[in-house]
Amino acid sequence: MDASNNDGQSFEWEIVSKPKTSKAVIQSHMTSISIVGPLDVVGVYCIRLWINHNEYNQKNKTISLNVPGKISLAPFPDDPLFDSGGRVRNFSFELPGILAGYPANWDVVDDAGLLNSIRAGLTRGRCIPNKFSTVSGKYVMVLGDDEEFTDNEMAVGDEFSIVQEIDFTNMNILEVTLKFRE
């Protein structure tokens, strides 16, 4: 695991959850680069990285590693839809990012850590929505919560957003499909 491309003075890795009988450990839990293992039991391993833990500018990132019990016989999913995206990479949010709830090719700002919950990728962030019909593809980016859960804890000044730089040279129209809800 490599966090050396993150700005920070201190790094702290922790195993948040793992299968009950697993002997997995983090080898160097206070460095920017570390190793976790062995992933010795079938199940999900959840690992959190704290950057500048307990400081005013602390951040955390969570990853989940899944060790399947057997190789899936399910067919591969359809190719992502890029046909109407123009210069927008991953136009329909079809490609997953490296963390649950994150889309590939988009920068996510999540000051309040909303995507660190167990619902990341299910009701918030990059997810298949229940209360919105997609225009292209299966996925949308939900900034808030698709199922209207009330445990979102954002403070004044927190930001939950996505960003992607796009070259608008020789373009004069930008179409965006949005849905707002109180």
pTM: 0.50
**Rounded Cα distance, 133 and 61, in Å:** 30
Give the list of residues 6+ apart from residue 125 with CB closer than 8 angstroms, or none.
Answer: 100, 101, 102, 103, 108, 114, 115, 141, 142
Interval 131-168: pLDDT, tens: 878 877 888 888 888 777 766 677 788 888 888 887 77
Instruction: Identify the pLDDT of residue 150.
Output: 63
Contacts of 34 (CB under 8 A, 6+ apart): 1, 13, 26, 27, 28
What's at 58, amino acid-wise? Q
* Spans of all domains in the chain: 11-67, 76-167
Phi, psi for 77 (deg, rounded to 5): -70, 160
The length of the chain in residues reads 182
Per-chain mean pLDDT for the chain: 83
For 18-72, write each residue's pLDDT tens digit: 999 999 999 888 988 888 988 999 999 999 999 999 888 889 888 888 888 887 7
